[in-house]
Structure 1
Amino acid sequence: MAAPFDPSAHPHRRWNPLTNSHVLCSPHRTQRPWQGAQEKGDGPQLPAFDDKCYLCPGNERATGGRNDQYDGTFVFENDYAALKPEAVEGDEASSHPLLRSTPARGRCYVLCFHPKHNLTIAQLTTAPYSARSSILPIVHAWRRLYLSIPQENPFVSYVQIFENKGSAMGCSNPHPHGQIWSLDYVPEEPRTELLNMQAYALDARNAAPDVLRGAPLDEQGRASLLLTYAHLELNTPGTPRVVAQNAHFVTVVPYWALWPFETMLLPYKRHISSLEDMTDEEQLALAELLGETACRLDNIFGCSFPYSMGIHQRPAPRGHKGADAELGDFAHFHIHFYPPLLRSATVRKFLVGFEMLGEPQRDLTAEQAAARIRDCDTTHYLAKSNA
């Protein structure tokens, strides 16, 4: 006779409705010994200003440009952009259907979050800083760029906002900053999510009361995949995957999470398709929960927790015509945090072997990870050690 299923002990697969893919969960593997590679822990604390940093106020960058003497956020076009704005003709070199390429066009920007070289979003939550004074300006800059870039560059179809934090995630400069890539197409990850959110909204079966369970609908009266999911998490007994919430947003470890301490931040009260749709109150609430989430991650292992963080939202502002613009009405604003650390500040998860050749796999369950993050303080560990 088969034993009763225990998701905290037995291997199982979880489905990701955003990507229509699966992740293999193997919670029993957390007991295995580790003799593999280890990351470097935090080095000496950084100075508030580094005269050799290409991103500090007033400094000269590698290409000869000079930064403003900024005292808040600072934006400039990336000196080593992955995309160029010039239009080129298509590649006609090969007529074989297996050898196809399409020109890609866009503009890339760097957004410095703060003038101080040694502060991260996680640290901007603790006095003398606050989400209102130090993180809200970042949200305002994101919103301004999201609106202005497509207006100034009509060929742009998608604005991808993201941050790579820490050398473990390939960040080449420790100064607090993120990037904005604008493209003339909708990239694979957000496009896949948009298509699945559209399919969910248009599938009559998903409008059944027993599935929606009272979740709010979008402006068209349709079921929203992520709004329904947020409502489901907040109404699950014990809220085992909820990390934190405020009046407008909630942070969860998604049921289908791949990375050990992966989190997703999203609005739960109403359908919000992009930064454009947020009220002033909602923008402040976003800044507050963004900072709290980053701070909790740092406090898991008492280190500057590396991650890739990015926003998925409506491809371009309302009324802008671009590739897949019709999918915009199905978008529900959300932020992904993909942190790689697994067991300690020096042991990370690698996506190799079975994960490259078979399918994604994780050891820690989403519920276990959420409990670890939820138990962390909201005062940054460095503020405590310096007190």
Structure 2
Amino acid sequence: MSNQNKQSDSPFNPEDHSHRRYNPLSGEWVLVSPHRSKRPWLGQEETPAPLQTISHDPKCYLCSGNTRINGALNPAYGHTFVFTNDFAAVEQQKRVSDGINHALLTHTPVAGTSRVICFSPDHSKTLPQLPKESIEKVIECWQNQLNELSQEWSWVQLFENKGAVMGCSNPHPHGQIWATDTLPTEAIKADTNLKAYYEEHKRNLLLDYAELELELQTRVVEQNEHWLVVVPYWACWPFEILLLPLQPVKHLNQLDRAQTTSLAAIMKSSLTRYDNLFNCSFPYSMGWHGQAFTDESQQHWQLHAHFYPPLLRSASVKKHMVGYEMMAEPQRDITPEQAAERLRSCSTVHYSEQ
């Protein structure tokens, strides 16, 4: 018998032994290798970004009252500030292509808009450092943008890249909105799998998943009356979290006041746990996924947010998606259960205030 077909009589333990986990949202698998977390690290270590200390930087293109790179003057904003990205990824003009049409050389024009959201006028305060009321203002801004952009565009992607290690080009805390007339790849994956589950079970996949996690409690980071924060069973990134409403909600602009207030509270506490994990301004890419704004039924959709942080062992050791991850499938070392336990143990009082 070949080595690959040999089976061991020893029992399987997912906390110690390699295995794969299925992601029902993407339809893809992730390799989990918990034994690898014990190996010594001799690779690259990042320099942790220090906390910002100045509330207004006269050289910052995003600070209140400053001039941006294109010569436009920012208003003296008091809460959030939104403007069309000076280097937008998509153009608003809708075009028709007369280019080559071949099965191996296919393209389609994309129209849309790209916007920047400054979370607050304070240059030094990331989301977990803002008061809860200021985070509510950010959520209300997201809601207003959705109300406006959904009138013209099929998909509205709200996201934030936090930290230079995640490609953020300006340290002023901000997020972005890219709205397009087509559904992007990740949205198509989620839409397809949410719809398939709904058609088979006549139930919502993510509401069922939230109910299951609440019952098990092994991957729950925290919860309140309206929201659940969990390290998903299929997480790829070391301390990835999934933020879910506990009631049926298709997008942020459908939240009532109580849901909005409790979302601000759980975002502040969860992101504070992130910063407290390694006593640093914890980098991540995050984004909201909600219903597409098309004429099709969206009964299968449930609002959720993904947070993908790259840090693995400390503030200076980053998880890179390279090699096997790029050529085969995502891989992680610590299990989601271990990650959730570590996040649960973190304080919800920011380390800079302790």
In the superposition, the TM-score normalised over structure 1's length comes to 0.88
Q: Per-residue displacement from partner, 1:202-239 (whole Å, max 9, x unpaired)? A: 01xx3xxxxxxxxxxxxxxx310000000000011xx1
Q: Of 186, 208, 219, which aligns to 1:228? A: 208
Asked if 1:240 is matched to 2:218, the reply is yes
Check the 8 A contact 2:51/2:281 in 1, yes or no. no
Asked if 1:255 is matched to 2:233, the reply is yes
In the alignment, the residues of structure 2 paired with residue 13 and residue 380 of structure 1 have an alpha-carbon distance, to the nearest angstrom, of 35
Distance 1:302 1:327, change over 3 A: farther
Distance 1:373 1:44, change over 3 A: closer
**Amino-acid identity (%):** 47
Q: Of 321, 325, 346, which aligns to 2:316? A: 346
SS at match of 1:136: helix
Give how far 1:186 is off. 1.0
Instruction: Give 1:53's aligned amino acid.
Output: C
Aligned to 2:104: 98
Which aligned pairs between 1:173-212 and structure 2 lie closer than 5 A? 173-203=170-200, 206=201
Aligned to 1:215: none
Instruction: Give 1:235's aligned amino acid.
Output: E
Q: Of 156, 162, 165, which aligns to 1:159? A: 156
Instruction: Give 2:198's aligned amino acid.
Output: A
Instruction: Give 2:353's aligned amino acid.
Output: A
SS at match of 1:290: helix
Check the 8 A contact 1:121/1:135 in 2, yes or no. yes
Asked if 1:295 is matched to 2:295, the reply is no
In the alignment, the residues of structure 2 paired with residue 87 and residue 252 of structure 1 have an alpha-carbon distance, to the nearest angstrom, of 40
Q: Of 74, 77, 80, which aligns to 1:73? A: 80
Give how far 1:94 is off. 1.9
Check the 8 A contact 1:194/1:327 in 2, yes or no. no
In the alignment, the residues of structure 2 paired with residue 377 and residue 44 of structure 1 have an alpha-carbon distance, to the nearest angstrom, of 18
In the alignment, the residues of structure 2 paired with residue 246 and residue 43 of structure 1 have an alpha-carbon distance, to the nearest angstrom, of 31
Q: Per-residue displacement from partner, 1:223-271 (whole Å, max 9, x unpaired)? A: 10000000000011xx110000011000000000000000000012x21
Check the 8 A contact 2:231/2:340 in 1, yes or no. yes
Aligned to 1:122: 128
RMSD of aligned Cα (Å): 1.1
Q: Of 2, 10, 14, which aligns to 2:21? A: 14
SS at match of 1:342: coil
Check the 8 A contact 1:48/1:117 in 2, yes or no. yes
Check the 8 A contact 1:195/1:327 in 2, yes or no. no
SS at match of 1:146: helix
Instruction: Give 1:259's aligned amino acid.
Output: W
Give how far 1:275 is off. 1.4
Aligned to 1:84: 91
Check the 8 A contact 2:50/2:281 in 1, yes or no. no
Give how far 1:327 is off. 5.1
Give how far 1:37 is off. 1.1
Count the aligned residue pairs.
347
Q: Of 11, 34, 39, which aligns to 1:27? A: 34
In the alignment, the residues of structure 2 paired with residue 287 and residue 50 of structure 1 have an alpha-carbon distance, to the nearest angstrom, of 26
Check the 8 A contact 1:309/1:336 in 2, yes or no. yes
The runs of 5 or more residues in structure 1 that have no matched partner are 207-221, 317-321
Give how far 1:281 is off. 0.4
In the superposition, the TM-score normalised over structure 2's length comes to 0.96
Worse overlay, 193-202 or 40-49: 40-49
Q: Of 286, 311, 328, which aligns to 2:298? A: 328
